[in-house]
Amino acid sequence: MKITIGPVTHESGRESSNIEAAAYDEHSRVLTIAFKNGSVYDYADVAPEAITEGLLKAESAGKWLNQSVKPSHAYRKVGEIAWTQPKVKSEA
């Protein structure tokens, strides 16, 4: 089962200042995080309980990621999210 969480918000309703969105694949146990700077990372072997008891209940998603996931899980950068601004036609 794949769970998509995004945008990441605190229980108070405030959006994360660092994380744009997250997705979790329960089968592969991979947590994917899209950061507000555009970087996208996969974190390996993350237990489902870490998502339900950690990420979804964390007061700060970024702090939870830095303290609970990054130190103990292999990760890799998988891409960049790049936004392209629409071209504005100039009026002649």
Q: How much of the chain exceeds pLDDT 90, in percent? A: 35
pLDDT at residue 69 in the model: 94
Alpha-carbon gap, residue 38 to 82, rounded angstroms: 6
Higher confidence at residue 86 or residue 40? 40
* pLDDT at residue 85 is higher than 80: no
Q: Mapping DSSP to helix (H, G, I), strand (E, B) and coil, where does residue 62 land?
A: helix
The residue ranges of every structural domain in the chain are: 2-80
State yes or no: cis peptide before 7, omega within 30 of 0. Answer: yes
Q: Mapping DSSP to helix (H, G, I), strand (E, B) and coil, where does residue 42 land?
A: strand
* pLDDT at residue 3 is higher than 90: no
Give tens-digit pLDDT for 13-55.
567 788 888 888 989 999 999 998 889 999 999 998 888 888 8
